[in-house]
Amino acid sequence: MHVNHAAGADPADSISFDDFLKVDIRVGTIVEAEAFPEARKPAFKLRIDFGAPIGIKRSSAQITERHRLEDLVGTQVLAIVNFPPRQIGPVRSEVLTLGVPDENGHVVLLRPDQGVPDGGRLF
């Protein structure tokens, strides 16, 4: 499957509501953020707390252009928690942190505009 990350990309094929329900998107709080100099593209290593029963999961996120490392801890974000883990260099990414491109194609994190309980599922 080709993923087009550009703003204004063509819409994806239609799916059923049952297909949507298979994608488990949850809110979690970033509890640790580190530089990831080994990554091919600039990225940060994140540890995100999704609360019980999911707990803390690792992610690699290419968000270095629009987000400062020192501002990330304590930030709530949305992530897909039921993809299989991916090895990204030395990091095992366990969740896919979600974002959308700005006008220059740089990733802006998706996050609630108010604090909500960690582990809440998007619906």
Q: Is the dihedral of CA 14, 100, 74, 92 positive or negative?
A: positive
CATH number at residue 104: 2.40.50.140
Residue 6 has pLDDT above 70, yes or no: no
Cα–Cα dist 110/107, whole Å: 9
Range of the domain at 45: 22-109
**Structural domain count, the chain:** 1
Q: Read out DSSP for 51-110? A: -TTT-EEEEEE--TTT--HHHHTT-EEEEE-SSPPEEETTEEE-SEE-EEE-TTS-EEE-
pLDDT in tens, 77-105: 999 999 999 998 889 999 999 999 999 99
Cα–Cα dist 35/98, whole Å: 18
Residue 31 lies in a domain: yes
**pTM for the model:** 0.89
Residue 53 lies in a domain: yes
Residue 82 lies in a domain: yes
pLDDT of residue 89: 85
